[in-house]
Structure 1
Amino acid sequence: MDRYQPLNCDLYDYVEIACMHGYRLKVELVDGQTFEGKPLTTRTAPSKEEFLQFADGIEDVRLDQLAAITPLDEGASFGRVELGNSFCAT
Protein backbone atom coordinates (compact mmCIF):
# COMPACT_ATOMS: atom_id res chain seq x y z
CA MET A 1 0.00 0.00 0.00
CA ASP A 2 1.15 3.55 -0.65
CA ARG A 3 2.70 5.81 1.99
CA TYR A 4 0.04 6.99 4.45
CA GLN A 5 -1.33 10.50 3.92
CA PRO A 6 -3.11 11.94 7.01
CA LEU A 7 -6.68 13.08 6.42
CA ASN A 8 -7.37 16.82 6.41
CA CYS A 9 -8.11 17.80 10.02
CA ASP A 10 -11.43 19.49 9.17
CA LEU A 11 -12.64 16.32 7.46
CA TYR A 12 -11.34 14.10 10.26
CA ASP A 13 -13.98 15.76 12.46
CA TYR A 14 -16.76 14.15 10.37
CA VAL A 15 -15.26 10.73 11.01
CA GLU A 16 -15.18 11.44 14.76
CA ILE A 17 -18.77 12.76 14.73
CA ALA A 18 -19.95 9.60 12.97
CA CYS A 19 -18.27 7.50 15.67
CA MET A 20 -19.59 9.59 18.58
CA HIS A 21 -23.18 9.52 17.31
CA GLY A 22 -23.05 5.91 16.18
CA TYR A 23 -24.20 6.78 12.67
CA ARG A 24 -24.50 3.91 10.24
CA LEU A 25 -22.47 4.94 7.18
CA LYS A 26 -22.30 4.24 3.50
CA VAL A 27 -18.54 4.09 2.94
CA GLU A 28 -16.94 4.69 -0.44
CA LEU A 29 -13.30 3.71 -0.86
CA VAL A 30 -10.79 5.21 -3.28
CA ASP A 31 -10.62 1.87 -5.14
CA GLY A 32 -14.36 2.09 -5.92
CA GLN A 33 -15.59 -0.41 -3.34
CA THR A 34 -18.59 0.54 -1.19
CA PHE A 35 -20.11 -0.94 1.95
CA GLU A 36 -22.33 0.00 4.87
CA GLY A 37 -21.19 -0.17 8.46
CA LYS A 38 -21.28 1.36 11.90
CA PRO A 39 -17.99 3.01 12.86
CA LEU A 40 -16.84 2.54 16.43
CA THR A 41 -13.65 4.56 16.79
CA THR A 42 -10.40 5.52 15.14
CA ARG A 43 -7.04 4.08 16.05
CA THR A 44 -3.46 5.02 15.28
CA ALA A 45 -0.99 2.25 14.51
CA PRO A 46 2.63 2.45 15.73
CA SER A 47 3.50 3.37 12.11
CA LYS A 48 1.31 6.51 12.57
CA GLU A 49 -1.28 5.23 10.07
CA GLU A 50 -4.83 6.00 11.20
CA PHE A 51 -7.71 3.56 10.82
CA LEU A 52 -11.47 3.62 11.20
CA GLN A 53 -12.76 0.63 13.17
CA PHE A 54 -16.22 -0.79 12.48
CA ALA A 55 -18.71 -3.03 14.27
CA ASP A 56 -20.02 -6.24 12.71
CA GLY A 57 -16.61 -7.71 11.90
CA ILE A 58 -15.84 -5.24 9.12
CA GLU A 59 -12.10 -4.90 8.58
CA ASP A 60 -10.49 -1.63 9.72
CA VAL A 61 -10.09 0.94 6.94
CA ARG A 62 -7.06 3.19 6.66
CA LEU A 63 -8.36 6.76 6.62
CA ASP A 64 -6.56 7.72 3.42
CA GLN A 65 -8.48 4.95 1.64
CA LEU A 66 -11.83 6.67 2.32
CA ALA A 67 -13.25 8.48 -0.70
CA ALA A 68 -16.53 9.52 0.96
CA ILE A 69 -18.83 8.77 3.88
CA THR A 70 -22.59 9.27 4.00
CA PRO A 71 -24.64 8.88 7.20
CA LEU A 72 -27.69 6.68 6.68
CA ASP A 73 -29.44 7.75 9.88
CA GLU A 74 -32.34 10.16 9.57
CA GLY A 75 -31.51 13.49 11.23
CA ALA A 76 -27.73 13.06 10.99
CA SER A 77 -25.82 16.30 11.53
CA PHE A 78 -24.07 16.09 8.14
CA GLY A 79 -24.64 14.60 4.70
CA ARG A 80 -22.25 13.00 2.23
CA VAL A 81 -18.66 14.13 2.82
CA GLU A 82 -15.95 13.58 0.20
CA LEU A 83 -12.67 12.69 1.89
CA GLY A 84 -10.45 11.37 -0.89
CA ASN A 85 -7.56 13.62 -1.96
CA SER A 86 -8.09 15.83 1.11
CA PHE A 87 -4.94 15.36 3.10
CA CYS A 88 -3.03 17.46 5.63
CA ALA A 89 0.29 18.84 4.53
CA THR A 90 3.12 16.79 6.04
Structure 2
Amino acid sequence: MDEYLPLNCDLYGYLEIACLHRYRLRIELVDGECLEAEALTTQTTVDKEEFLLVRAVAGERRLRLDRLLAITPLTPGASFARVLLNASRC
Protein backbone atom coordinates (compact mmCIF):
# COMPACT_ATOMS: atom_id res chain seq x y z
CA MET A 1 0.00 0.00 0.00
CA ASP A 2 1.14 3.57 -0.65
CA GLU A 3 2.72 5.68 2.07
CA TYR A 4 0.03 7.34 4.20
CA LEU A 5 -0.41 11.09 3.71
CA PRO A 6 -2.05 12.68 6.78
CA LEU A 7 -5.19 14.74 6.32
CA ASN A 8 -5.00 18.47 7.04
CA CYS A 9 -6.09 19.06 10.67
CA ASP A 10 -8.65 21.71 9.62
CA LEU A 11 -10.39 19.12 7.45
CA TYR A 12 -10.26 16.38 10.08
CA GLY A 13 -12.76 18.38 12.14
CA TYR A 14 -15.46 17.78 9.52
CA LEU A 15 -15.04 14.03 9.94
CA GLU A 16 -15.28 14.38 13.72
CA ILE A 17 -18.53 16.35 13.39
CA ALA A 18 -19.92 13.78 10.96
CA CYS A 19 -19.12 10.96 13.40
CA LEU A 20 -20.40 12.83 16.46
CA HIS A 21 -23.78 13.39 14.81
CA ARG A 22 -23.76 10.08 12.87
CA TYR A 23 -24.30 11.93 9.61
CA ARG A 24 -25.21 9.95 6.55
CA LEU A 25 -22.57 10.88 3.96
CA ARG A 26 -21.98 10.65 0.26
CA ILE A 27 -18.30 9.69 0.17
CA GLU A 28 -16.19 10.19 -2.93
CA LEU A 29 -12.92 8.26 -3.06
CA VAL A 30 -9.85 9.27 -5.06
CA ASP A 31 -10.18 6.14 -7.21
CA GLY A 32 -13.61 7.32 -8.45
CA GLU A 33 -15.74 5.09 -6.21
CA CYS A 34 -18.71 6.73 -4.47
CA LEU A 35 -20.75 5.35 -1.62
CA GLU A 36 -23.39 6.41 0.87
CA ALA A 37 -22.77 5.47 4.48
CA GLU A 38 -23.25 6.54 8.10
CA ALA A 39 -20.15 8.00 9.74
CA LEU A 40 -19.32 6.04 12.91
CA THR A 41 -15.85 6.94 14.17
CA THR A 42 -12.26 7.60 13.20
CA GLN A 43 -9.41 5.22 14.01
CA THR A 44 -5.63 5.52 14.08
CA THR A 45 -3.38 2.50 13.69
CA VAL A 46 -0.04 1.95 15.44
CA ASP A 47 1.56 2.94 12.11
CA LYS A 48 -0.20 6.35 12.39
CA GLU A 49 -2.57 5.67 9.48
CA GLU A 50 -6.01 7.20 10.01
CA PHE A 51 -9.32 5.71 8.94
CA LEU A 52 -13.00 6.62 8.84
CA LEU A 53 -15.24 3.77 9.97
CA VAL A 54 -18.63 3.87 8.23
CA ARG A 55 -21.73 1.71 8.02
CA ALA A 56 -23.01 1.18 4.47
CA VAL A 57 -25.73 -1.12 3.14
CA ALA A 58 -23.14 -3.85 2.59
CA GLY A 59 -21.83 -3.51 6.17
CA GLU A 60 -19.06 -1.62 7.93
CA ARG A 61 -16.06 -0.33 6.01
CA ARG A 62 -12.81 1.23 7.08
CA LEU A 63 -11.72 3.97 4.67
CA ARG A 64 -8.17 5.35 4.81
CA LEU A 65 -8.43 9.14 5.10
CA ASP A 66 -5.95 9.89 2.33
CA ARG A 67 -8.20 7.88 -0.03
CA LEU A 68 -11.16 10.22 0.60
CA LEU A 69 -11.66 12.86 -2.06
CA ALA A 70 -14.78 14.53 -0.64
CA ILE A 71 -17.68 14.07 1.75
CA THR A 72 -21.19 15.49 1.42
CA PRO A 73 -23.67 15.22 4.31
CA LEU A 74 -27.03 13.77 3.31
CA THR A 75 -28.49 14.26 6.78
CA PRO A 76 -30.99 17.17 6.84
CA GLY A 77 -29.76 20.16 8.84
CA ALA A 78 -26.09 19.15 8.69
CA SER A 79 -23.70 21.87 9.83
CA PHE A 80 -21.58 21.77 6.66
CA ALA A 81 -21.96 21.07 2.93
CA ARG A 82 -19.63 19.22 0.56
CA VAL A 83 -16.02 19.26 1.78
CA LEU A 84 -13.12 18.55 -0.55
CA LEU A 85 -10.59 16.60 1.50
CA ASN A 86 -7.84 15.87 -1.03
CA ALA A 87 -7.77 18.68 -3.55
CA SER A 88 -4.27 17.66 -4.65
CA ARG A 89 -5.68 14.36 -5.93
CA CYS A 90 -8.28 15.86 -8.29
Query: What residue is the counterpart of 1:48 in the other structure?
Result: 48
Q: What CA distance in whole angstroms lies between the structure 1 residues aligned with 2:25 and 2:75? A: 8
Moved >4 Å (runs of 4+): none
Q: What CA distance in whole angstroms lies between the structure 1 residues aligned with 2:87 and 2:9? A: 13
Q: Using the TM superposition, give the Cα deviation of residue 84 of structure 1 relative to its aligned residue in structure 2, in angstroms.
A: 1.0
Q: What CA distance in whole angstroms lies between the structure 2 residues aligned with 1:39 and 1:84? A: 18
Q: What CA distance in whole angstroms lies between the structure 1 residues aligned with 2:63 and 2:75? A: 21
Query: What residue is the counterpart of 1:3 in the other structure?
Result: 3
Give TM-score, length-normalised by structure 1.
0.90
Query: What residue is the counterpart of 1:69 in the other structure?
Result: 71
Q: What CA distance in whole angstroms lies between the structure 1 residues aligned with 2:43 and 2:12? A: 12
Q: What CA distance in whole angstroms lies between the structure 2 residues aligned with 1:79 and 1:47? A: 31
Aligned residues: 86
Instruction: Quote the RMSD (CA, aligned, Å).
Output: 1.2
The structure with the largest strand share of the pair is: 2
Alignment CA distance shift 1:84-1:70 (3 Å): same
Q: Using the TM superposition, give the Cα deviation of residue 55 of structure 1 relative to its aligned residue in structure 2, in angstroms.
A: 2.1
Q: Give the structure, 1 or 2, with the largest relative contact order (CA under 8 Å, sep 6 or more).
A: 1
Unaligned runs of 5+ in 1: none
